[in-house]
């Protein structure tokens, strides 16, 4: 998992990886989870190859790559193209699923359902579909949400949130995570994590922050306000919404605010920094050590039977991200090197 080799190998077999990734993304969008997963696994395997793959025999020997996928990979190497991907990409079905799937709040199943009802355009959806509150907001800002946010503007948004939060409680720890913390030049949204080192002052803070940001007109629409966390405890509370900086020619931007207790800070920071793919490999690694890694904590001594946890184990002391890497016997990786 050394990032240096990972980078080099991505270059060597880049054309193959790019086409497989495009296919995995399409399977994700159509909720074909099993196929998406086997493509993703193949990508991880190929990324680890230290040389250019140039024979079918090499591919079939790679762990976890079966005959059918091996043939497709060979097609990419041999012909430079991938017919199934091209057909899929240019199909009306995929074009429409993509169009609908890019509406915030519309998952693959709803996209498919709308397609089956005969809807083909955003106008069809706007006029004929039964829309949730989130999908209505998603449609309203369809084009704006598709645009990436320059990092300077993410910093401006962070400044506004900081001002309002710190006016309520001085001394809060406020950290923008996601693609911004990974150093990306542009971001899909703004992910802000808030906590307090005293372990108490974060409590009951989310709603006052949101109210304060709403009152000044910074927040324009709400998507999700949840003070109960889905996973295993109610310790994380979150707000997903839409913000608009003051001034001319501004765009509506997606903003996520998550408020958490300080003892979960390192695990939450790691999780919300991502990437999602990186998180998945960290969780898989934890699994191999009979540990369990979540956005809340890292547990050790977990007992699993048939993939369900029959003993949750005990939480480890994780004061920093570095400590989590250490428990997993990994050299520390800075956020900029966590894309995979
Ligand atoms: N995350 C995850 N699994 C998901 C969704 C999110 O592990 N299914 C974690 C990792 C992400 C972080 O949450 O990095 C923030 O989620 P975003 O969807 O905002 O993703 P990014 O900030 O990484 O990218 P973008 O620039 O598209 O916002
Ligand atoms: Mg983000
Ligand atoms: Mn986000």
For the question of whether the overall pTM of this predicted structure is more than 0.80, the answer is yes
What pLDDT is recorded for position 231?
52
Q: Which of 126, 12, 23 is nearest to 75 (CA)?
A: 23
pLDDT, tens digit, for every residue of 64-118? 899 999 999 999 999 999 999 999 999 999 999 999 999 999 999 999 999 999 9
Q: 226 CA distance to ligand 3 centroid (A)?
A: 14
Give the integer Cα–Cα distance in Å for 96 and 81: 23
What pLDDT is recorded for position 2?
47
**Closest residue CA from atom 16 of ligand 1:** 178
Please tell me if the CB atom of residue 119 comes closer than 6 angstroms to any atom of ligand 1: no
Quick one: tokens of 214? 């709403």
Please tell me if the CB atom of residue 185 comes closer than 6 angstroms to any atom of ligand 1: no
Please tell me if the CB atom of residue 279 comes closer than 6 angstroms to any atom of ligand 1: yes
Length reported for the chain: 340
CA 137 centroid distance within chain = 20
Cβ atoms 332, 3 nearer than 8 A = no
As annotated, the active-site residues are 72
Region for 308 from its dihedrals, namely left if φ exceeds 0, alpha if ψ lies in -120 to 50, beta otherwise: beta
Please tell me if the CB atom of residue 176 comes closer than 6 angstroms to any atom of ligand 1: no
Name the residue with tokens 């809340």: 296
The β-bridge relationship of strands 190-195 and 186-187 is: unpaired
The answer to whether the peptide bond before residue 38 is cis (omega within 30 degrees of 0) is no
Q: 273 CA distance to ligand 3 centroid (A)?
A: 10
Please tell me if the CB atom of residue 178 comes closer than 6 angstroms to any atom of ligand 1: yes
Burial class (CB in 10 A: 0-12, 13-18, 19+), 275: middle
Pocket test for ligand 1, best of 28, 178, 182 (most atoms within 8 A of CB): 178
pLDDT, tens digit, for every residue of 9-33? 568 999 999 999 999 999 999 999 9
Burial class (CB in 10 A: 0-12, 13-18, 19+), 64: exposed
Which residue ranges in the chain fall short of pLDDT 70? 1-10, 228-234
> With b meaning 16 or more CB within 10 Å and e meaning fewer, what string describes 291-329?
bbbbbbbbbeebeeeeeeeeeebeebebeebebbeebbe
What was the ipTM of the complex prediction? 0.99
Q: 178 CA distance to ligand 3 centroid (A)?
A: 7
Give the integer Cα–Cα distance in Å for 10 and 22: 15
Q: What is the mean pLDDT of the chain?
A: 94
**Closest residue CA from atom 5 of ligand 1:** 276
What pLDDT is recorded for position 11?
83
């Amino acid at each position: 998992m050394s990032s240096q080799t990972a980078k080099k190998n991505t270059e060597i077999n880049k054309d193959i990886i790019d086409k497989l990734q495009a296919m995995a993304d399409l399977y994700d969008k159509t909720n074909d989870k099993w196929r998406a997963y086997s493509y993703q696994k193949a990508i991880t395997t190929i990324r680890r190859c230290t040389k250019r793959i140039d024979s079918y025999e090499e591919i079939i020997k790679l762990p976890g790559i079966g005959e059918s996928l091996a043939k497709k990979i060979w097609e990419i190497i041999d012909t430079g193209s991938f017919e199934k991907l091209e057909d899929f990409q240019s199909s009306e079905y995929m074009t429409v699923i993509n169009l609908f799937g890019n509406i915030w709040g519309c998952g693959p199943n709803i996209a498919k359902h709308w397609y089956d009802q005969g809807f083909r355009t955003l106008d069809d959806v706007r006029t004929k579909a039964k829309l949730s509150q989130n999908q209505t907001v998603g449609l309203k800002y369809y084009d704006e949400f598709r645009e990436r946010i320059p990092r300077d503007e993410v910093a401006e948004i962070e400044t506004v949130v900081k001002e309002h939060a710190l006016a309520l409680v001085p001394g809060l720890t406020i950290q923008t995570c996601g693609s911004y913390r990974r150093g990306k030049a542009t971001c899909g949204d703004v992910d802000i994590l808030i906590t307090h080192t005293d372990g108490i002052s974060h409590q009951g803070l989310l709603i006052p922050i949101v109210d304060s940001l709403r009152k000044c007109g910074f927040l324009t629409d709400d998507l999700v306000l949840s003070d109960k966390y889905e996973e295993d405890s109610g310790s994380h509370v979150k707000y997903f919404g839409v913000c608009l900086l003051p001034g001319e020619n501004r765009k509506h931007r997606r903003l996520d605010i998550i408020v958490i207790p300080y003892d979960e800070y390192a695990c939450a920071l790691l999780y919300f920094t991502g990437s999602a793919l990186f998180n998945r490999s960290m969780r898989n690694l934890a699994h191999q050590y009979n540990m369990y890694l979540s956005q809340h904590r890292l547990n050790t001594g977990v007992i699993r039977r048939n993939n369900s946890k029959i003993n949750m184990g005990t939480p480890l002391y994780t004061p920093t991200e570095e400590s989590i890497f250490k428990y997993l016997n990994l050299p520390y990786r800075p956020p900029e090197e966590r894309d995979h």
